[in-house]
């Protein structure tokens, strides 16, 4: 099972072999969707380990989700027919946690950093974050504090954390400065910005007090640590003989800075793999220029292009390619992706009158394809809200479905409650965990007591847990409840200290807290299912201990909190159709893909905020939407359906929608069109100005994507290559009135 050159040649095509066998020096594999990028680096790592005798623990491999990391590990073990310890294969976040836990266990490092946080830190999730922000913002915002303000604050803080300030150096080049609260305050130009930077500062202080980090901090703090301690960074860089990064097009500035710190500058053994046409996380700080500038940042980069798509039939590859060609791209980045497969089915564009028909059509087609296809079928949509109608239609036909990224096991309330107990045991300073369960189940600890605890904790610079004894001494109304709570938690802490098995501690927590009794009291009808979930959770602890005999509670909690959105997949989807937003679909493949809502305004999505954006920003957004569309289409192996509804309920009212510009951009030779999306009476368009359809955008239309004369429905003009199933191709497509109407309204913008 040695992966030597001959083996590579058997499993990969010529370009893929070249890329996999090139182990030394910086390499960029830039390739289209489905061209075997992930497959190539999987073989590359196997080749390094088995043919070049590289210690797998000295390979750093970054994947986009934990699931992708697991799959790659499994695949490599299959290829090598043996266990391989790829301990540094994971997401940016999981790698950061590893680095942090290693470094923060070292007293000297802690001293130099001067951080309050120690290696037992908790990882705060969205919920914890919201709670903490609320406490900070309440006194500042007063009654103005609503869900929207909170959401905004969270997104601003996340922006601070995911972007950097570039300070030019006198000698040329830049110094990368992280946006810590101090830096954010320095750069705040307006009172509003100052206010938010202040919230950011208080938020960070509170996190530190709770010995906790949020998701973004994992990255930020690792980079800060490595920047402050260059000798530590050098040790890591020295340890990692080879660095491999998948989905490189979605790296952000902070992640890039981290990579540069971890890559040995003299060896520069780094392979990055990506497709700039699939960069879809710009809104979260991903910077497409990072992949485009790779050759500038490293010396003598070897550049590999993979162009043959192995995933999809030719029509799909060609159709998707014709859409993405509408984006402006640097010449050297252009790829000519092709498929050597047969043409296959045409891309089915399905027009319907209204949104209800859309979900019916989707369900009907899936039903007719038969049960065996369910698990190989996915339905994508642009926004989460669109899933409800589809779920309903599937349910009507008794088609089981699973929402990828929906409420998963570890997000269920009862699970999160018991996890909060476990978190408190792992880190008694974890105030968010404390607050979640100190009175759940109720033990007579009221808000008054909590306020008193807070005050006393603040006065003594301690955590809430540490403030309990003082409160008990005061002998207030809740003293008894607090005492009981303290006693039982101390009992569990002692068990943990004595190295009692984790599933047994978890069982104790559930029993001693009378949690199951509480569930029954809360809601008899759901209690049984929730209890089953709790049993399953104890089971998860058992499995974890069996698989990781040398790991403890910290590591368990870490694993849970690192499940990223994209990992939140409900298990056992063998017979179910998968629903998800397109953002979640990256890297995946399905036999059949249905994309709902290919309507101008929905996909591309036109946000209300687009009104205030500059033409340049709008263009950037439109291009990102196009990449998203490209990602969606290229997930399909054999069948691709694109739906357009002429009318739909959208943000509270019934509106008209023209077909998505992306439908017009598809090479007509690859498409067959079915159905109609309007009443077929020209009046309905000529008599009615288009802007009524978009009244929600302030009477103006297509903000964000204006100023472009539409070609006349290109996709509907040409003859369909299949010719077979096209029904009344483009009933609206040749309607000159309609095109003129659009033209007119576009000029209003
Ligand atoms: P994406 O851009 O979506 O991430 P990718 O470039 O990573 O795609 P892979 O997922 O590695 O592509 O490959 C797509 C499909 O094609 C997989 O099913 C893979 O096994 C198959 N494939 C890739 N290369 C080959 C090859 N040389 N021979 C046979 N099958 C291949
Ligand atoms: Mg891939």
pLDDT of 258-300, one tens digit each?
Answer: 999 999 999 999 999 999 999 998 877 888 888 888 888 888 9
- State the catalytic residues: 37-38, 246-247, 278, 635
Mutation test residue for ligand 1: of 16, 311, 636, the one with most atoms within 8 Å of CB: 311
pLDDT at 529: 67
The ligand 1 atom nearest the CA atom of 31 = 6
357 close to 700: Cβ distance less than 8 angstroms? no
Query: How far does the centroid of ligand 2 lie from the alpha carbon of residue 36, in Å?
Result: 7
pLDDT at 563: 61
| Among protein residues, the one whose CA lies closest to atom 31 of ligand 1 | 310
Instruction: Collect all residues with Cβ–Cβ distance below 8 Å to 333 and sequence separation of at least 6.
Output: 30, 276, 292
The ligand 1 atom nearest the CA atom of 306 = 6
The ligand 1 atom nearest the CA atom of 32 = 2
Mean pLDDT per 10-residue run, the chain (749 residues)?
Answer: 93 96 95 95 97 96 88 94 93 94 92 89 85 87 81 89 85 83 90 91 93 92 95 96 95 92 94 93 83 87 94 97 93 87 95 91 96 95 81 84 65 86 95 93 89 90 92 85 94 95 94 93 75 79 83 88 55 72 90 97 81 81 95 98 90 84 97 78 32 33 33 33 32 30 23
**What does the pLDDT look like over 167-211, one tens digit per residue?**
888 877 778 889 999 999 998 888 888 999 999 999 999 999 999
Mutation test residue for ligand 1: of 310, 339, 380, 588, the one with most atoms within 8 Å of CB: 310
Task: For residue 308, give the ligand nearest its CA.
Answer: 1
104 close to 121: Cβ distance less than 8 angstroms? yes
Say whether 38 counts as a known binding-site residue.
Answer: yes
Distance CA 54, CA 80 (A): 13
pLDDT at 748: 21
Task: For residue 36, give the ligand nearest its CA.
Answer: 1
Distance CA 596, CA 342 (A): 26
pLDDT at 610: 61
591, 630, 645, 573: which is closest to 361 by C-alpha?
645
**What does the pLDDT look like over 35-52, one tens digit per residue?**
999 999 999 999 999 999
Query: How far does the centroid of ligand 2 lie from the alpha carbon of residue 237, in Å?
Result: 26
Say whether 407 counts as a known binding-site residue.
Answer: no
Distance CA 331, CA 391 (A): 43
Query: How far does the centroid of ligand 2 lie from the alpha carbon of residue 591, in Å?
Result: 16
The ligand 1 atom nearest the CA atom of 16 = 27
Query: How far does the centroid of ligand 1 lie from the alpha carbon of residue 87, in Å?
Result: 24
Task: For residue 34, give the ligand nearest its CA.
Answer: 1
pLDDT at 608: 65
Beta bridge partners of 648: 655
Say whether 37 counts as a known binding-site residue.
Answer: yes
| Among protein residues, the one whose CA lies closest to atom 18 of ligand 1 | 311
Say whether 237 counts as a known binding-site residue.
Answer: no
Query: How far does the centroid of ligand 1 lie from the alpha carbon of residue 589, in Å?
Result: 9
- Is pTM beyond 0.90 here? no
Distance CA 690, CA 676 (A): 18
- Its sign, for the CA torsion 480, 484, 487, 490, is negative
Residue 646's φ and ψ, nearest 5 degrees, are -70, -25
| Among protein residues, the one whose CA lies closest to atom 11 of ligand 1 | 36
The ligand 1 atom nearest the CA atom of 13 = 27
Say whether 65 counts as a known binding-site residue.
Answer: no
Say whether 42 counts as a known binding-site residue.
Answer: no
Query: How far does the centroid of ligand 2 lie from the alpha carbon of residue 11, in Å?
Result: 17
Mutation test residue for ligand 1: of 39, 64, 341, the one with most atoms within 8 Å of CB: 39
pLDDT at 73: 94
Q: Is 258 left (phi over 0), alpha (psi -120 to 50) or beta?
A: alpha
> What SS3 string covers 542-566?
HHHHHHCCCCCHHHHHHHHHCCCHH
Residues in the chain: 749
Distance CA 197, CA 178 (A): 14
Give the pocket of ligand 1 (CB within 6 Å).
12-13, 16, 31, 33-39, 275, 278, 310-311, 587, 589
């Amino acid at each position: 099972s040695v992966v030597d050159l001959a083996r590579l040649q058997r499993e990969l095509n010529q370009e893929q072999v070249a890329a996999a066998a090139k182990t030394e020096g910086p390499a960029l594999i830039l390739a289209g969707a489905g061209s075997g990028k992930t497959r190539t680096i999987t073989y590359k790592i196997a080749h390094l380990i088995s043919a070049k005798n590289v210690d797998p623990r000295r390979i750093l491999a970054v994947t986009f989700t934990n699931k992708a990391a697991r799959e790659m590990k499994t695949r490599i073990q299959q290829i090598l027919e043996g266990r391989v310890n790829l301990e540094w294969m994971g997401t940016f976040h999981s790698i950061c946690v590893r680095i942090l836990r290693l470094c923060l266990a070292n007293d000297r490092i802690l001293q130099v950093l001067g951080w309050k946080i120690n290696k037992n830190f908790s990882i705060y999730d969205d919920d914890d974050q919201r709670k903490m922000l609320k406490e900070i913002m309440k006194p500042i915002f007063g009654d103005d504090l609503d869900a929207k303000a909170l959401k905004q604050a969270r997104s601003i803080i996340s922006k601070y954390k995911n972007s950097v300030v570039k300070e030019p150096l006198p000698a040329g080049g830049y110094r990368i400065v992280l946006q810590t609260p101090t830096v954010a305050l320095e750069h705040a130009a307006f009172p509003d910005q100052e206010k938010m930077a202040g919230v950011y500062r208080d938020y960070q202080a509170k996190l530190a007090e709770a010995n906790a980090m949020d998701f973004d901090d994992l990255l930020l703090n690792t980079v800060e640590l490595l920047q402050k301690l260059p000798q530590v960074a050098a040790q890591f860089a020295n340890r990692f003989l080879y660095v491999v990064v998948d989905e490189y097009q979605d790296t952000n500035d902070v992640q890039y800075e981290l990579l540069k710190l971890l890559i040995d500058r003299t060896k520069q053994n780094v392979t990055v793999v990506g497709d700039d046409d699939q960069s879809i996380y710009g809104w979260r700080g991903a910077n497409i220029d990072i992949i485009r500038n790779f050759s500038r940042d490293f010396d003598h980069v070897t550049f590999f292009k993979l162009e043959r798509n192995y995933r999809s039939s030719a029509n799909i590859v060609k159709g998707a390619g014709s859409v993405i060609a509408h984006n402006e791209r640097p010449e050297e980045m252009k790829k000519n992706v092709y498929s050597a497969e047969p043409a296959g089915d045409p891309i089915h564009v399905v027009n319907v009158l209204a949104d209800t028909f859309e979900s019916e059509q989707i369900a009907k087609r899936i039903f007719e394809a038969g049960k065996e296809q369910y698990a190989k079928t996915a339905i994508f949509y642009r926004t989460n809200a669109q899933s409800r109608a589809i779920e309903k239609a599937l349910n009507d036909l008794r088609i089981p479905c699973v929402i990828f990224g929906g409420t998963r096991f570890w997000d269920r309330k009862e699970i999160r409650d018991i996890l909060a107990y476990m978190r408190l045991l792992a880190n008694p300073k974890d105030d968010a965990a404390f607050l979640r369960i100190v009175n759940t189940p109720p033990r007579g600890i009221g808000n008054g007591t909590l306020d008193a605890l807070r005050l006393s904790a603040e006065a003594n610079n301690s955590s809430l847990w540490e403030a309990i004894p003082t409160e008990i001494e005061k002998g207030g109304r809740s003293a008894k409840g607090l005492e009981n709570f303290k006693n039982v938690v101390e009992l569990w802490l002692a068990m943990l200290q004595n190295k009692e098995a984790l599933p047994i501690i978890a069982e104790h927590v559930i029993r001693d807290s009378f949690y199951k009794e509480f569930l029954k009291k809360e809601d008899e009808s759901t209690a049984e299912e929730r209890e089953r979930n709790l049993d399953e959770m104890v089971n998860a602890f058992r499995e974890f201990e069996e698989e990781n005999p040398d790991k403890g509670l910290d590591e368990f909690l870490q694993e849970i909190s690192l499940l990223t959105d994209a990992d939140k997949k409900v298990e056992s989807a063998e017979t179910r159709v998968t629903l998800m937003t397109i953002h979640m679909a990256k890297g995946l493949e399905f036999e059949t893909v249905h994309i709902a809502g290919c309507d101008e305004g929905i996909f591309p999505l036109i946000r209300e905020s687009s009104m205030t954006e500059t033409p340049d920003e709008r263009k950037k957004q439109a291009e990102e939407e196009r990449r998203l569309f490209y990602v969606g289409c290229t997930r399909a192996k054999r069948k691709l359906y694109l739906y357009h509804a002429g009318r739909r309920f959208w943000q509270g009212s019934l509106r008209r929608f023209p077909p998505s510009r992306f439908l017009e951009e598809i090479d007509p030779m690859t498409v067959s069109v079915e159905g109609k999306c309007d009443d077929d009476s020209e009046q309905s368009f000529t008599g009615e100005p288009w802007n009524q359809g978009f009244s929600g955008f302030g009477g103006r239309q297509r903000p964000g994507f204006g100023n472009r004369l539409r070609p006349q429905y290109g996709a509907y003009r040409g003859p369909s290559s299949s010719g077979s199933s096209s029904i009344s191709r483009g009933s609206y497509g040749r309607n000159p009135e309609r095109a003129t109407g659009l033209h007119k309204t576009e000029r209003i913008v």
